[in-house]
Amino acid sequence: MKYNTINFNNKTILITGGAGFIGSNLAFYFQEEFPQSHVVVFDKFRSEATFSNGNLQSFGHYKNLIGFKGDIICGDLNSEKDLAQLDAYNFDYIFHEAAISDTRVYDQEIIMQTNVNSFYYFLEKAKKDNAVLVYASSAATYGSIPSPQTVGKESPENPYGFSKYAMDQIAYRYMRENPEMTIVGLKYFNVYGAREFFKDKTSSTVIQFGHQILAGKAPRLFEGSDKIVRDFVYIKDVLQANIKACDAKKSGVYNVGTGKPRSFQDIADILQKELGTDYGTEYFPNPFTGYQMHTQADISTSTEFLGYKPKWELEDGIKDYLGEIIRMYNEEVM
């Protein structure tokens, strides 16, 4: 689906984190909708290295790019030598999705180095190339402030959230100093959809619950999950936001959600209905302190300045995603 009138054919497009969840979806979007576009993926790709919490340090996976026909550069955001490989290109559009995105990583140094220090390179590269820059911010910038979450009222409560908050502040300065540039930050809420499986433990509850049910088990939810709600947004709406950001009426930072929070219990119940099962629910105590109980994106400015209007209700998104959930279970879990 073409979300605006931009013709990306014969344009050179950089996608950092292009072997990850959102990045790989963007890569295939351009390949399928604009086959004459020149897409360059920059990604560290996964190794077996883990953080102290046991989670993988990098989620980029080659299987997310099977069938991709563009350029691939394996590189680390923390390496000037790796980033220098991008200087050979003159980009028209830069989608900066790469980051350490695990909210449970508390090593402030590595998060700030990876997420914030590297951001200056892409801002300067966009300025030099006269490229549109769209980058991933995050709803984690809001912390646990009351809903609805509104841009400009952030209160991050973990290093990842703070790193994205810092990126937003840097972006605002570039916007002021370079009014001719198009710079758009997108605060993603809880994204789910195809190509998220290799995020491992940080993948959405949609695929995690789906695979629990496919294994013949009751989905495992925190106690009180009918009252824990999130703004779940389908990957196809995230693609819409990214493409519309390329033609933004105004540079800025915008929320990408639905504005319609739903509970974890809703997800489990929808999945059981679609899969034709009735395993009930297994509840266990929530082990986390400072846990967000309610998120809801205020998307008024996203609609006004990007033309972003979410199309996918949770029921529709899960139904559209179900075949991929089953495929990944059969190919990667069984």
Q: Which two tokens stand for residue 332?
A: 């990667």
Q: Mean of the per-residue pLDDT values for the chain?
A: 96
Which of these is catalytic: 11, 199, 236, 244?
199
Task: Tell me the per-residue pLDDT of 237-250, one tens digit each, with 9 for 90 and over.
Answer: 999 999 999 999 99
pTM reported for the whole predicted model: 0.96
Please give the share of the chain, as a percent, with pLDDT higher than 70: 100
Task: Tell me the per-residue pLDDT of 96-108, one tens digit each, with 9 for 90 and over.
Answer: 999 999 888 899 9
120 Rama sector, left if φ>0, alpha if ψ -120 to 50, beta otherwise: alpha
Alpha helix ranges (H) inside 189-313: 205-214, 235-245, 264-275, 300-306
Task: Tell me the per-residue pLDDT of 301-319, one tens digit each, with 9 for 90 and over.
Answer: 999 999 999 999 999 999 9
CB neighbours of 115 closer than 8 A, spacing ≥ 6? 77, 99, 100, 160, 163, 164, 166, 167
Which of these is catalytic: 160, 174, 308, 321?
160
Find the mean pLDDT for residues 182-197. Answer: 98
Please give the share of the chain, as a percent, with pLDDT higher than 90: 91
User: Active-site residue 160, yes or no?
Assistant: yes
In this predicted structure, the answer to whether residue 55 has a pLDDT above a threshold of 90 is: no
DSSP SS3 for 256:
strand
Stronger pLDDT, 288 or 270, i.e. the higher one:
270
Task: Tell me the per-residue pLDDT of 138-167, one tens digit each, with 9 for 90 and over.
Answer: 999 999 999 999 999 999 999 999 999 999
User: Active-site residue 308, yes or no?
Assistant: no
